[in-house]
Amino acid sequence: MTAIFSDDVKPEACQGRVIAIVPAAGIGARMGAAVPKQYLPLCGAPILSHTLRRLLSHPGIDIVVVALGEGDSWFDSLPEAGHPKLVKARGGKERADSVLSALGSDVFGEADWALVHDAARPCLTHTDIDALLASRSRFPQGAILAMPVRDTMKRAGGDGAISETVCRNALWHALTPQLFNASALKHNLEQALAAGAVITDEASAMEWAGVHPGLVSGRADNIKVTHPDDLQLAALFLEAQQVLQAQQAAEQISS
Ligand SMILES: Nc1ccn([C@@H]2O[C@H](COP(=O)(O)OP(=O)(O)OP(=O)(O)O)[C@@H](O)[C@H]2O)c(=O)n1
Ligand SMILES: C[C@](O)(CO)[C@H](O)COP(=O)(O)O
């Protein structure tokens, strides 16, 4: 195994372009809707539209590659589909396969960064993107948005009762975006998948190769829409963000 470790990331790599990858090829089985959940309406637009708008409008993101499921007949009708910064890629069987497929797009150069963000996380803010991009100087090996665990954590036994309490010290929820040197991520993801490793996020592929990605504290409203009751919560978060933005704009005008 010739994994790429953190000291393989050259200091100048922090200067490369930032290319977002949006894995959007899932079927949303846990949502149980008639269409893949990324196309369900939320505050007047499909979930994927909200996610793409937030990435496409960020000045630090140069290109957005979206990985779509085979036979996806919804994407091309989105207003964002014709955006000049947007590139389409074919998704894969699992999320990691979709990310790897997107990393194979010819837009990527050696020094570029891959910022991977779930299509199903429509409440992402520019504040969080800024924080993750700024972390490159502290974490040249890459980093992820994450949130410290706040609750006592229990492991369920087979009978539906508690089998144990899991120590929550230093436990974090991994969120997205996750930011890595694109060629290092592609190489390590290929090696990890070929070795049969279970890869549920980009950081786990880098960790498999011996890299220790940084943790960047992210917002609690950056939820992943997974189950039906997440839709109402995401709508509340989007509405709250819109109210706050309007208030901040009004204060700027009056100041
Ligand atoms: N083969 C896959 C599976 C998932 N995803 C994407 O990865 C993100 C996070 O995955 P998840 O929330 O699990 O979405 P689904 O796989 O669609 O949900 P489920 O597991 O309930 O089917 C989603 O934006 C989903 O579209 C993907 O691009 N390719
Ligand atoms: C990538 C991720 O969102 C980090 O928490 C999560 O691993 C995705 O998991 P899923 O089962 O593919 O939704």
| pLDDT, tens digit, 9 for 90 and up, residues 153-164 | 999 999 999 999
What is the average pLDDT value for the chain, to the nearest integer? 94
Place of tokens 């809707």: 33
Buried b (16+ CB within 10 A) or exposed e, 123-135: bbbeebbebbbeb
- Report the C-alpha gap between 53 and 31 in whole angstroms: 23
| pLDDT, tens digit, 9 for 90 and up, residues 12-67 | 445 789 999 999 999 999 999 999 999 999 999 999 999 999 999 999 999 999 99
**Spacing, Cα 245 to ligand 2 middle (Å):** 28
**Ligand 2: nearest atom to the Cα of 226:** 13
Please give the DSSP secondary-structure letter assigned to residue 224: -
- Report the C-alpha gap between 73 and 69 in whole angstroms: 9
Lowest mean pLDDT among 2-6, 48-52, 207-211: 2-6
Helix (H, G, I), strand (E, B) or coil at 89: strand
Tally of domains within the chain: 1
| pLDDT, tens digit, 9 for 90 and up, residues 132-178 | 999 999 999 999 999 999 999 999 999 999 999 999 999 999 999 99
Residue 157 included in any domain: no
Instruction: Decide: 112 in ligand 2 pocket, CB within 6 A.
Output: no
Residue 95 included in any domain: yes
**Ligand 2: nearest atom to the Cα of 116:** 1
**Spacing, Cα 236 to ligand 1 middle (Å):** 22
Q: What is the mean pLDDT of residues 123-127?
A: 98
Instruction: Decide: 136 in ligand 2 pocket, CB within 6 A.
Output: no
**Spacing, Cα 201 to ligand 2 middle (Å):** 6
Q: CA-based angle 133:15:92, to the nearest 5?
A: 65
Reported as half-sphere exposure (CB side, CA atoms, 13 A), residue 74 has a value of 20
Q: Ligand 2 pocket check: which of 22, 118, 206 to mutate, most ligand atoms within 8 Å of Cβ?
A: 118
Residue 53 included in any domain: yes
| pLDDT, tens digit, 9 for 90 and up, residues 73-94 | 999 999 999 999 999 999 999 9
Q: What is the CATH number of the domain that holds 96?
A: 3.90.550.10
Q: Ligand 1 pocket check: which of 42, 88, 95 to mutate, most ligand atoms within 8 Å of Cβ?
A: 95
Residue 86 included in any domain: yes
**H-only helix segments in the chain:** 47-56, 95-103, 126-134, 182-194, 202-208, 228-254
Residue 243 included in any domain: yes
Instruction: Decide: 118 in ligand 2 pocket, CB within 6 A.
Output: yes
Q: What is the mean pLDDT of residues 200-226?
A: 98
pLDDT value of residue 9? 46
Note whether ipTM > 0.90 here: yes
The model's confidence at residue 183, banded by pLDDT at 50, 70 and 90, is very high
Residue 2 included in any domain: no
Please, is 44 exposed, middle or buried when counting C-beta atoms within 10 Å of its C-beta (0-12, 13-18, 19+)?
Answer: exposed
pLDDT value of residue 11? 46
Domain of 20, in residue numbers: 11-148+170-254
Reported as half-sphere exposure (CB side, CA atoms, 13 A), residue 209 has a value of 28
Residue 126 included in any domain: yes
pLDDT value of residue 13? 45
Ligand nearest to the CA of 95: 1
Instruction: Give DSSP secondary structure letters for 176-211.
Output: EEEEEEHHHHHHHHHHHHHTT---SSHHHHHHHTT-
- Report the C-alpha gap between 140 and 181 in whole angstroms: 8
pLDDT value of residue 231? 98
Residue 140 included in any domain: yes
Instruction: Name the nearest CA neighbour of 67 among 111, 41, 36.
Output: 36
